[in-house]
Amino acid sequence: MGASIQINGITHRFSGKGPNVLENLVFDMAAGRSTALIGESGCGKSTLLHMLAGLMLPTEGCVRINGQQVTKPHPEWNMMFQRPGLYPWLNVRQNVALGLQFTGKTEALAQRVDEMLALVGLSDKGAARPQDLSGGQQQRVALARSLAVEPDVILLDEPFSALDAFTRRNLQLEVRHIAREKNITLVLVTHDIDEALTMGDSVVVMGRNPGTFQSVMNIDLAYPRNPIDPKFAKLREDLMARFKHSVEGQPQARQTSFDAIANNTNKIKTPAHERPLDQNNGRSSSLPLNR
């Protein structure tokens, strides 16, 4: 399991004469790595994620997963959204089984569903209806459904943003732990700097108008990561500075965006951690550094 992802010179316009929404994005993700995308609202994070999922094709360039050009969705490249997307007329077990049924992986289905429910800590909720579960439990069901098909890739579009802080943190740790155990490649879109630092092996900061990759930070911290660790705090400070730089670099800089992110984090003043972009995974990259 696990798949490498190549973002290969992606430029995108929604209409022929419209502006570039994304411009010349280049990035490689190794199999089993986790990459967090952060950036101002409207910089194109979700658009890019939809392209990784094969739900949308770029105007120029392409996405390759394990070397194959992505032209349509694939059952083993799973997307999880802010809303869990469960079917209310099915119980938890039936919701988890759905992914397996869609992909035709019905061998030992009941056993597989049991395993997945145990993995996400919901063994006692199989007969419950989704609407009788908490928001965090519903996201766990969605996670179990995603994991059941043994995905190579999970794409997360702000999946925990509607949850309370405690549940959110537990799920961040659990999803990262499970993905590491199963060598699943993760791509996470988030507005939450601590979430990016908790879950990402790399954090990519995007700029807006058009959407570009501004800088990449490799996060050399052991898992599980703890926001009160001084090293975590240093990385947070650096990432905040990079994010602020990306906002100020925009033609129409919007300080409010930066403030919104800044208010999401605990501020601890420490020197910045730096790692050059061209050391990313030991590969060269054409992304511009933003310092």
Ligand X SMILES: Nc1ncnc2c1ncn2[C@@H]1O[C@H](COP(=O)(O)OP(=O)(O)OP(=O)(O)O)[C@@H](O)[C@H]1O
Q: Which residues make up the interface to ligand X (CB under 6 A)?
A: 14, 21, 39, 41-47
Burial letters for 203-235: b for 16+ Cβ neighbours within 10 Å, e otherwise? bbbbbbbbbbbbbbbbbebeeebebeeebbbbb
Residues 6 or more apart from 27 whose CB is under 8 A from it? 6, 7, 35, 204, 213, 216, 285, 287
Q: Tell me how far the alpha carbon of residue 221 is from its chain's centroid.
A: 18
Minimum gap (Å) between residue 158 Cβ and ligand X: 7
Minimum gap (Å) between residue 49 Cβ and ligand X: 8
In angstroms, the CA 137 to CA 170 distance is: 11
Ramachandran angles phi, psi of 216, nearest 5°: -130, 130
Nearer to ligand X among residue 117 and residue 247 (C-beta): 247
What's the alpha-carbon Rg for the chain, to the nearest Å? Answer: 19
Residues 6 or more apart from 153 whose CB is under 8 A from it? 3, 5, 52, 65, 76, 77, 78, 184, 185, 186, 187
Minimum gap (Å) between residue 15 Cβ and ligand X: 7
Nearer to ligand X among residue 47 and residue 214 (C-beta): 47
In angstroms, the CA 282 to CA 273 distance is: 18
Number of Cβ within a 10 Å radius of residue 46: 15
Minimum gap (Å) between residue 21 Cβ and ligand X: 4
Nearer to ligand X among residue 19 and residue 224 (C-beta): 19
Nearer to ligand X among residue 22 and residue 142 (C-beta): 22
Residue matched to tokens 């925990």: 160
Minimum gap (Å) between residue 75 Cβ and ligand X: 24
Reported as type and span, the H/E element at residue 27 is strand 22-29
Nearer to ligand X among residue 21 and residue 141 (C-beta): 21
Nearer to ligand X among residue 49 and residue 113 (C-beta): 49
CA atoms within 13 A on the CB side of 220: 7
Residue matched to tokens 């702000």: 158
Minimum gap (Å) between residue 18 Cβ and ligand X: 7
Minimum gap (Å) between residue 50 Cβ and ligand X: 8
Minimum gap (Å) between residue 4 Cβ and ligand X: 23
Nearer to ligand X among residue 46 and residue 264 (C-beta): 46
In angstroms, the CA 220 to CA 235 distance is: 9
Reply yes or no: is the peptide bond before residue 288 cis, omega within 30 of 0. no
Ramachandran angles phi, psi of 263, nearest 5°: -70, -15
Nearer to ligand X among residue 39 and residue 151 (C-beta): 39
